[in-house]
Amino acid sequence: MEPATSSSDRAAEAVEAAVRERIAPDTATLARVASTAARLVENARRAAEGRRIAPQKIVVAGSAARGTFLRDRLDIDLFFLYPPTVGRADLEKEGLSLAGAILERPETRYAEHPYLRGTFEGFAVDAVPGYAITDPSQPLSAVDRTPFHQAFLVERQNPSMVADVRLLKQFLRAHRLYGSEARTGGFSGYLVELLVLKFGSFHQVLSDAAHWRIPARLLWSADSAPRVPDDVALVMEDPVDPHRNVATALSRRNLAAFILSSQAFLERPTPEAFETQTSPGLTLVAGLDRVRDRATHVAALTLPRPALVDDVLYPQLRKAERAVAEEAERQGFAVLGVAGAAGPSRVLVLLEVGSRLLPAVRRRPGPPAGIDRVGSFLEKWAAPGAEVVQGPYIDDEGNLAVETRRGERSIEGLLRESLPRLPLGRDLKGGVPERAWIGPLDELTEGPEVDAALGELLDKRLPWWRPTPR
């Protein structure tokens, strides 16, 4: 006898079915994408004939090749795979040249190495050079495993799974959890497809995720043992290279958000769970109002933006955020939060603390009574120039202590003093200290990075959460 279906399960099935139909590309679009992809590959092959260095393989892969794209979002990923003997400089030069010969309005973009974005017959196309390797565990560039991923998924997916891949992508987009770029730290498209393949359906992915604990480990077999760090949020081995973790880019915060969002949808299935919610950020005026209402203080650090793509810059920005927050805590401030964002010309870190000023006195703990260092501690604070306000005295734990007068008391001043020694990230250190600016929020000039960072700092809320009506 089959288990009874609960009312929430039936409600979820109805919502999922309606959303599947809404986000799926129609038959005509699927046919047009397939024919366009075939012409794109053929044009590239003709353009490659007679070149000094020609690609060994030209393939369309990714969601366009597997039909897992959403109705309102489609980029065609085209790969030029060169022999492994081709040097990196030639790979980039020849790949960009070939892409420029077949794409309209080409623009150079950067990831691990340069690629070209343009259009072909009205579709956006990313043309990416890589290597035609034979062993996916020995890639020479970040995209070399792509044909192996393509073959693995095509052999195992069916129309139902393809529809549920779209559904999971839309769910993640709605909760701002889709995208493996460093700025987002979410789920990659390949990870989404593997999750649906492993668990069989969108609903089963959420049902399993509702019980995950971080760090979560999802293995294809009991004897799998991928060599990946234990401190990542999620471990999911790449089936074409079992020692690679597909989920490396996923942050703990975003995995926790997915777990909670899964629980919320299963408990109360609604179409709103699939409606994309944008995060407009918080304007500077609104941010200042919130800070006044919270009776806190926000300090700002700006640095000139280095000429880096977001995927390289944002890991360094996150490192800078941690460094600033840890230094503030070490100095004695109560840190409520830290956030950062990168704009066109500058990088911004915002730090919220309980108060702008520390007390005028600072407690200096000493050794417990009865050990040799007691004498040196007393001598140190009896020396001329030692600004002892109170003490030496013995605290309740039997340890010596003194209280001294502070020099700099403001968060901005202390950060300004410590900034040159903080681990901000290799490329951000170039702006320290000459081109760095540190000041209170009300002295910060406006910019898109300000709205983004303020939204992250002062407008935090689970996207699906609604207060219970009284």
Q: Report the CATH number at residue 270.
A: 1.10.1410.30
Q: Which residue has the higher pLDDT, 426 or 457?
A: 457
The reported pTM is: 0.84
Residue 225 in this model has a pLDDT that exceeds 70: no
Condensed to tens digits (0 to 9), the pLDDT of residues 284-305 reads: 999 999 999 999 999 999 999 9
Q: Are residues 165 and 254 in the same domain?
A: yes
Boundary-marking domain end, from 274, 304, 323: 274
**51 falls within a domain:** yes
Q: Are residues 201 and 246 in the same domain?
A: yes
Condensed to tens digits (0 to 9), the pLDDT of residues 72-112 reads: 888 899 999 999 999 999 999 999 999 999 999 988 888 77
Query: How many domains, in total, are found in the chain?
Result: 4
Q: What is the pLDDT of residue 467?
A: 61
What range does the domain containing 315 cover? 284-357+409-458
Range with the poorest average pLDDT among 113-127, 216-230, 338-352: 216-230
Q: Which residue has the higher pLDDT, 371 or 459?
A: 459
Q: Domain containing 341 — which CATH number?
A: 3.30.70.590
Residue 194 in this model has a pLDDT that exceeds 80: yes
Q: What is the pLDDT of residue 1?
A: 42
Q: Are residues 178 and 137 in the same domain?
A: no
Condensed to tens digits (0 to 9), the pLDDT of residues 383-405 reads: 887 789 998 999 888 999 999 98
**47 falls within a domain:** yes
Residue 226 in this model has a pLDDT that exceeds 70: no
Boundary-marking domain end, from 85, 114, 143: 143
**325 falls within a domain:** yes
Q: Are residues 321 and 416 in the same domain?
A: yes
Condensed to tens digits (0 to 9), the pLDDT of residues 227-268 reads: 556 568 999 989 999 888 999 999 999 999 999 999 999 999
Residue 3 in this model has a pLDDT that exceeds 90: no
Residue 376 in this model has a pLDDT that exceeds 70: yes
The share of the chain scoring above pLDDT 70, in percent, equals 94
In one-letter notation, the amino acid at residue 24 is A
Mean residue pLDDT across the chain: 90
Q: What is the pLDDT of residue 228?
A: 55
SS3 letters for the chain? CCCCCCHHHHHHHHHHHHHHHHHCCCHHHHHHHHHHHHHHHHHHHHHHCCCCCCCCEEEEECHHHHCCCECCECEEEEEEEECCCCCHHHHHHHHHHHHHHHCEEEEEEECCCEEEEEEECCEEEEEEEEECCCCCCCCCCCCCCHHHHHHHHHHHCCHHHHHHHHHHHHHHHHCCCECCCCCCCCECHHHHHHHHHHHCCHHHHHHHHCCCCCCEEECCCCCCCCCCCCCCCEEEEECCEEEEECCCCCCHHHHHHHHHHHHHHHHCCCHHHHCCCCCCCCCHHHHHHHHHHHCCEEEEEEEECCCCCHHHHHHHHHHHHHHHHHHHHHHCCCEEEEEEEECCCEEEEEEEECCCECCCEEEEEEEECCCCHHHHHHHHHHCCCCCEEEEEEECCCCEEEEEEECCCCEHHHHHHHHHHHCCCCCCCHHHCCCCCEEEEHHHCCCCHHHHHHHHHHHCCCCCCCCCCCC
The share of the chain scoring above pLDDT 90, in percent, equals 70
**92 falls within a domain:** yes
Residue 4 in this model has a pLDDT that exceeds 70: no
pLDDT band for position 469 (cuts 50, 70, 90): low
Q: What is the pLDDT of residue 119?
A: 93
Q: What is the pLDDT of residue 2?
A: 47
Rg of the chain over CA atoms, in angstroms? 28
Q: Which residue has the higher pLDDT, 230 or 64?
A: 64
